[in-house]
């Protein structure tokens, strides 16, 4: 091979090596930049939430038992208003859609006495009444707007309610007007629904979207079942709850 041939061969080889080096340099993204072909980290957005709350609720009870209680003892639904405590766990399927499971409980105790009957000495014939309601909920929370620290939402789903009602104290046998002591209890469960709307606000924001929120929520629940055990003769039972929740929510 002549000197010219050897020189041409060297030039072609050098050009090939230079082209390959330039192509590799252009294929590398700038240092510190994000590769557009690389998907973002799964931890960039929090998926889970835990909420703890308290609040209050008022009742609307459709029942012949509670109608009789009002007529005989002067007890009304307002006597069974109560506080409530609970928690919820949720998982974000989408930025605006979360699935949640929860627990919510409260109870109230009051005393009633016969309106038309008293002891011979004028003292009242009375007894205590206790109502406990516990809801196990499964639902969804929808956030139609993403507004930074503050976010409104709507929530709805199913509620499995454990209903417990008991009376303990002095009662009158209307056949002979004897007064006796007794304990009566009604345990029932039924499935209904709940719906509400609320607003949460981030008081602390942490890396990777984690945050601590305060929130308030209005919630309505309703379910229908039947009286059982010592009050089975009173038939159908309908319980509606209206109230508010206030609490803390951690997203992680």
Residue 202's Cβ-count burial label (10 Å; 0-12, 13-18, 19+) is: middle
- The torsion angles phi and psi of 5, rounded to 5 degrees, stand at -65, -45
Distance CA(124)–CA(68), nearest Å, equals 18
Q: 35: Cβ–Cβ under 8 A, 6 or more apart, which residues?
A: 29
Residue 188 has pLDDT above 60, yes or no: yes
Partners of 191 in the β-ladder: 160
What is the residue extent of each domain of the chain?
48-251
- What are 123-179's pLDDT values in tens digits? 999 999 999 999 999 999 999 987 788 999 999 999 999 999 999 999 999 889 899
Question: Which class in CATH covers the domain with range 48-251?
Answer: mainly beta
Distance CA(200)–CA(51), nearest Å, equals 11
Q: Rounded to two decimals, what is the model's pTM?
A: 0.78
């Amino acid at each position: 091979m002549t000197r010219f041939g050897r020189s041409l061969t060297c030039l072609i080889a050098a050009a090939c090596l230079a082209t390959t080096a330039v192509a590799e340099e252009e294929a590398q993204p700038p240092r510190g930049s994000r590769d557009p072909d690389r998907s973002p980290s799964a931890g960039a957005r929090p998926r889970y939430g835990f909420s703890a709350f308290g609040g209050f609720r008022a009742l609307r009870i459709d029942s012949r038992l509670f109608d009789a209680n009002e007529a005989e003892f002067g007890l009304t639904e307002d006597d069974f208003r109560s506080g409530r405590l609970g928690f919820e766990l949720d998982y974000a399927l989408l930025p605006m859609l979360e699935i949640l499971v929860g627990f919510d409980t409260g109870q109230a105790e009051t005393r009633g006495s016969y309106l038309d009957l008293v002891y011979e000495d004028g003292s009242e014939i009375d007894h205590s009444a206790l109502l406990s309601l516990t809801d196990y909920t499964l639902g969804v929370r929808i956030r139609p707007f993403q507004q930074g620290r503050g976010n409104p939402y709507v929530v709805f789903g199913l509620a499995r309610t454990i209903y417990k009602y008991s009376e303990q104290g002095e009662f009158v046998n209307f056949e002979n007007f004897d007064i006796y002591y007794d304990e009566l209890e009604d345990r029932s469960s039924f499935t209904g629904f709940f719906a509400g709307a609320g607003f949460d606000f981030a008081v602390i924001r942490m890396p990777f979207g984690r945050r601590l929120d305060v929130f308030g929520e209005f919630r309505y629940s309703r379910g229908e079942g039947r009286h059982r055990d010592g009050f089975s003769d009173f038939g159908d039972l309908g319980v509606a709850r209206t109230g508010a929740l206030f609490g803390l929510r951690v997203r992680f």
